[in-house]
């Protein structure tokens, strides 16, 4: 399993946290998602079969921006 950590902006509240988690969990092969509102960070564990750009695009589609 690959683990990636992303620092993002626009992660504003628990509703946004839930949207990010739900969106990432819909991707086949995502094994774990941790969203830290206080640090504006997202950690994702996923299979090698997933391209990291798929995960980044999913996060951006929810409304977050990478720092």
47-58 pLDDT per residue, tens: 999 999 999 999
Question: How far apart, in whole angstroms, are the C-alpha atoms of residue 50 and residue 9?
Answer: 24
How many domains would you assign to the chain? Answer: 1
8-39 pLDDT per residue, tens: 999 989 999 999 999 999 999 999 999 999 99
Q: Where are the alpha helices (DSSP H) in the chain?
A: 14-25, 52-62
Range of the domain at 41: 2-66
Task: Check whether 62 has a pLDDT greater than 90.
Answer: yes
- Cβ neighbours around 64 below 10 Å, total: 23
Task: Check whether 67 has a pLDDT greater than 90.
Answer: no
- pLDDT score, position 40: 94
Predicted TM-score of the model (pTM): 0.90
**CATH number of the domain that residue 47 is part of:** 3.30.70.100
């Amino acid at each position: 399993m690959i683990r990636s950590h992303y620092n993002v902006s626009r992660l504003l509240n628990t509703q946004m946290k839930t949207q990010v988690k739900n969106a990432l969990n819909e991707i086949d092969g995502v094994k774990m998602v941790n969203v830290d509102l206080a640090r504006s960070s997202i950690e994702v564990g996923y299979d090698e079969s997933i391209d990291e750009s798929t995960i980044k695009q999913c996060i951006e589609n929810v409304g977050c921006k990478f720092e």
